[in-house]
Chains A and B, each alone.
Chain A
Amino acid sequence: MKHFLTLLSHEIRMLLVSPSTYIAAVLFLAVMGSVFNGILDTYSQAPQEASPASVFFQLFWLPVLFMVPLLTMKCLAEERRLGTIETLLTTPVTTTEVVLGKYGAAYALYIALWGATGGFFWILGKFAGDRRILDLGPLVGGYVFIAVSGLLFVAIGVLASALSRNQAVAGILCFTMLFALIFGVHYLADAAWLNTDILHPVRAAVGYGQVLQHYEDFTRGVVDLRQLLFYVTGTVLSLVFSILSVEAKQIHS
């Protein structure tokens, strides 16, 4: 792990000098800003039951589905396409360090972008003058959920990038996997054909993997260790498969 910090700072630096990062950031903040604006509009017209923060984070899947592929599709696919992976892996660094460096940088950017949305709430708190409107519980819960689920989402993006040398393919693959994880599992949990006795274990497993359900628990302040474990093991698995994928492609190149 000697070179991890060198690689991580290099990757973050590369992200910071790349115009695509800024385009992604501006688009992300524009979309989330208009969502937030819409929420405030609704709240100003009629009293609502939920706090603005929990409604805001309900739409977390929208930026996840589009931002995560954009942030991660480049990382390993580009290295392989340019051939720089060969120069990188013939220095005394391990594949693990390379993959973790890329993952760390993408995750840091993901968190930084979400962190920027904190500004919305700050402005709201400053100008609303009403402490009740800023319900701290759902706000913190929402950000914790974003941070924890982001681990897995970004790891899936890195895995997609490790599987293909084509950025577009990696991006679409990542989008599909995230879509399957967020909505596919949700759909499966409601499917009637899973209700038979013999499929009960499958149903139970699907029940644990519902990202939308996790979100609701987190914003209600329920941090379940099983859910944390779900994201952490998912992240570790995705990263292990990414590392194996890079090494396998090296052998068969």
Chain B
Amino acid sequence: MPESSPNAIEVTNLVKTFAGVAAVNDISFTLARGEILGFLGPNGAGKSTTMRILTGYLPATSGHVRICGFPVTTHPDEIKRRIGYMPENNPLPEDMRVSEYLYFRGRLKEVPRRKLGPRIDEVLELCDLKRMRHRIIGKLSKGYRQRVGIAETILAEPPVIIMDEPTIGLDPHQILIVRDLIGSLRGRMAVIISSHILPEIEVTCDRVMIINQGRVVAQGTPAALRREIFGHSTYIVEMAGEASSLTGALAGFEPFLSVAAEAEADPSGFRNVTLTTQSEAELGEPLLRAMLGRGLRVRAISRQHPTLEDVFLAATRRSWDTVDAKPQK
């Protein structure tokens, strides 16, 4: 039975070519029910195309997509009932009132007339739109329009939600609201969001998938991605003293710890030294003790956490390298 499928979304070997150019090139992933997936990638990476194929709006060139166990190509009606989709740029009709629009969309999405009224109140409350319910959409500011789009997406309580850049153009306060809103869907709905705002993805998503040139270049939890892409930890020590005693201190307890960079000393003799290691263990305290033991003066020590931004940049750069390395035909 398709309904009993454990995965909300299953994508296998998805390919989409436009006039011979591959926009999506052999992407496979699964998303469990209730999980939140962040979709990252530079412009033109194939994010929007993939999302459109998932919704059944675009046909794929090859590969399989299943939503809640239903194949997209053979059961377009079934999957459209199970998806809430907000396209890029959030297109909305200009000359409707917010509540009218939601009512119309609810009827199209087959929400029973009886339940629709209370449900509209509920989503308006969730999206902080109560005061705007009688406003005309064309006159709303960008942030409110964005929230109308989100309200519409979750209106029919679909098991799968796909949002293309939901936080674009929002102020920090509204981003926070949207983030909480998406977070509140965790466990109930499977969500895919694409975004350029990387901290956003990091906070809200259980899993991150980075694509470039239509290929998946990295996927996993943000922490796993950091490990995978960088493979080392970095410490920055602000210290004064002889460099030779530093290497001595390092050799004493962690042979893989090495000096990666050393900055110019300031007038008081302190300088920043960058240390890298393969080890994942927390080395801050033993390092500090070893350095103090060698008579080095230490003013600060910190472990660098690569942001998702660094991961994103490194992963896309790596994929460009593999693309460039291929012989051009």
Q: What is the interface of chain A, defined by CB distance below 8 A to chain B?
A: 2-3, 6-7, 10, 14, 17-18, 82-84, 86-93, 250-251, 253
Among B56, B93, B95, chain A packs the most CB atoms within 10 A around the CB of: B93
B95 and A92 contact, CB distance less than 8 A: no
Residues of B within 8 A of A3 (CB): 107-108
Residues of A within 8 A of B59 (CB): 251
Contact of B57 among A7, A14, A90 (CB under 8 A): A90
Between A and B, 18 residue pairs with Cβ closer than 8 Å are: A18-B95, A82-B91, A82-B94, A84-B91, A84-B92, A86-B52, A86-B57, A87-B86, A87-B105, A87-B152, A90-B57, A90-B80, A90-B83, A91-B105, A91-B108, A92-B80, A250-B58, A253-B58
Residues of A within 8 A of B93 (CB): 14, 82, 84
Across the two chains, which residue of chain B brings its CB closest to A18? Answer: B95
Which secondary structure characterizes the binding site on chain B? loop
B122 within 8 A of A: no
Q: How far is the CA of A91 from the CA of B55 in the complex (A)?
A: 9
Closest 7 CB pairs of A and B: A83-B91, A91-B108, A92-B80, A90-B55, A6-B107, A90-B85, A84-B91
B269–chain A nearest beta-carbon distance, Å: 61
Residues of A within 8 A of B86 (CB): 87
B81 within 8 A of A: yes
Contact of A92 among B52, B92, B108, B152 (CB under 8 A): B108
Q: How far is the CA of A88 from the CA of B152 in the complex (A)?
A: 12
Across the two chains, which residue of chain B brings its CB closest to A252? Answer: B18
Q: How far is the CA of A6 from the CA of B106 in the complex (A)?
A: 10
Contact of B58 among A6, A10, A91, A251 (CB under 8 A): A251
B57 and A91 contact, CB distance less than 8 A: no
Give the B interface residue count (CB, 8 A).
27
Q: How far is the CA of A89 from the CA of B80 in the complex (A)?
A: 9
B95 and A86 contact, CB distance less than 8 A: no
Among A2, A17, A83, A87, chain B packs the most CB atoms within 10 A around the CB of: A87
B109–chain A nearest beta-carbon distance, Å: 5
B77 within 8 A of A: yes
Across the two chains, which residue of chain B brings its CB closest to A13? Answer: B100
Contact of A89 among B57, B81, B89 (CB under 8 A): B57
Across the two chains, which residue of chain B brings its CB closest to A250? Answer: B57
B81 and A92 contact, CB distance less than 8 A: yes
Residues of B within 8 A of A253 (CB): 58
Q: How far is the CA of A169 from the CA of B212 in the complex (A)?
A: 37
Given A83-B87, A251-B59 in contact, is the A92-B107 Cβ separation under 8 Å?
A: no
B256 within 8 A of A: no
Binary flags per residue of B86-125, CB closer than 8 Å to A gives 1, else 0: 1101011111100000001101111000000000000000
Across the two chains, which residue of chain A brings its CB closest to B54? Answer: A90
Residues of B within 8 A of A84 (CB): 91-93
Across the two chains, which residue of chain B brings its CB closest to A89? Answer: B57
A250–chain B nearest beta-carbon distance, Å: 7
Across the two chains, which residue of chain B brings its CB closest to A83? Answer: B91
Q: How far is the CA of A107 from the CA of B91 in the complex (A)?
A: 26
Q: How far is the CA of A18 from the CA of B110 in the complex (A)?
A: 27
Binary flags per residue of B53-93, CB closer than 8 Å to A gives 1, else 0: 00111110000000000000000010011010111010111
A6 and B104 contact, CB distance less than 8 A: yes
A12–chain B nearest beta-carbon distance, Å: 12
Across the two chains, which residue of chain B brings its CB closest to A81? Answer: B91
Given A3-B108, A83-B89, A90-B85 in contact, is the A14-B58 Cβ separation under 8 Å?
A: no
Given contacts A82-B94, A87-B87, A90-B85, 7 further A-B contacts (CB under 8 A): A14-B95, A82-B91, A82-B92, A87-B86, A89-B57, A90-B55, A250-B57
Q: How far is the CA of A17 from the CA of B56 in the complex (A)?
A: 32
Binary flags per residue of B268-293, CB closer than 8 Å to A gives 1, else 0: 00000000000000000000000000
Across the two chains, which residue of chain A brings its CB closest to B107? Answer: A6
Q: How far is the CA of A250 from the CA of B235 in the complex (A)?
A: 52
B212–chain A nearest beta-carbon distance, Å: 22
Across the two chains, which residue of chain A brings its CB closest to B96? Answer: A14
A92 and B110 contact, CB distance less than 8 A: yes
B100–chain A nearest beta-carbon distance, Å: 8
Among B59, B87, B108, chain A packs the most CB atoms within 10 A around the CB of: B108
